[in-house]
Amino acid sequence: MLKAALNGNRTPSEHPKIPVTPQQLAQDARAAVEAGADALHLHPRNAAGAESLEAEDVAQALNAVRAACPGVSVGISSSWWILPDAKARLAAVRAWTVLPDFVSVNWHEEQSPELAELLLTRAIGVEAGLWTADAVRAFLDWPRRDEVLRLLLEMPDKPIRDYRAELREMFALLDASGLDRQIVLHGLGESAWPLLREAGRRGLGARIGLEDTLLLPGDFDGAGDNAELVRVAREMLGEGLRPV
């Protein structure tokens, strides 16, 4: 699976093709799917362009993207910086009238198990965001770990040498657990393309988009838009699956 991460917390000041409005998200999502994306991850915005978990903002973004990409799975983020108050975040999710197909829940953040349980109660898929080995351990101790949709192993914007040992430990913990869930491996900035290649090598799900990187492989040319990133990623993953 290749997921397109369309915008994250970036703004058009960082890249002119960052989609913000529902219409922009819909247009970008359609182009990303046509380029080879299997699923979509986005951060809804309010009228001022700020990230939002409010019911109306979530509904507008999801309705627009689904109209442009019927049948494609669409998920959103629940990251703490969108709504730092954990109780307010839970209240926002309870108020949703249009539901995403899945929501990423970062396991190192406050009240992540409570948020995940609420999402499951509302029949929303949970992606467990695991950034560290400690987060993996905490997640594996959660009684409902078998009910999540997939695991997101997310590495920081750093050189490979800075996170290689941590990632190996994370994989070892998951392997020892026997948990049978799809894994999506992805990075940010400097780690985005190396981890996409590693995902292809391991036969794991991958993610790419302007949320994760503004650059094409080689850290030289800037990406034109999300669709270009997805096309390049799909080509790279295809090469990784070819017999040697």
Q: Which domains does the chain have, with CATH numbers?
A: 2-239 (3.20.20.70)
pLDDT in the model for residue 221: 78
Query: With 60 as the cut, is the pLDDT of residue 84 above it?
Result: yes
Q: What digits encode the pLDDT tens for the residues 34-83?
A: 999 999 999 999 999 999 999 999 999 999 999 999 999 999 999 999 99
Give percent of the chain above pLDDT 90.
95
Under the banding of pLDDT at 50, 70 and 90, the label for residue 242 is very low
pLDDT in the model for residue 219: 67
Distances in Å between the alpha carbon of 107 and those of 130, 149, 150, 159? 6, 14, 13, 23
pLDDT in the model for residue 244: 32
Query: With 70 as the cut, is the pLDDT of residue 96 above it?
Result: yes
Nearest to 104 by CA among 93, 95, 91, 96: 93
Query: With 80 as the cut, is the pLDDT of residue 239 above it?
Result: no
CA distance 19 to 141: 37
Distances in Å between the alpha carbon of 167 and those of 14, 75, 132, 145, 188? 29, 25, 8, 20, 14
Mean per-residue pLDDT of the chain: 95
- Span 184-211, average pLDDT: 97
pLDDT in the model for residue 218: 80
Give percent of the chain above pLDDT 70.
97
- Span 168-179, average pLDDT: 98
* Cβ-based neighbours of 70, under 8 Å, separated by 6 or more: none
Under the banding of pLDDT at 50, 70 and 90, the label for residue 243 is very low
Q: What digits encode the pLDDT tens for the residues 136-167?
A: 999 999 999 999 999 999 999 999 999 999 99
- The helix/strand/coil state of 225 is coil
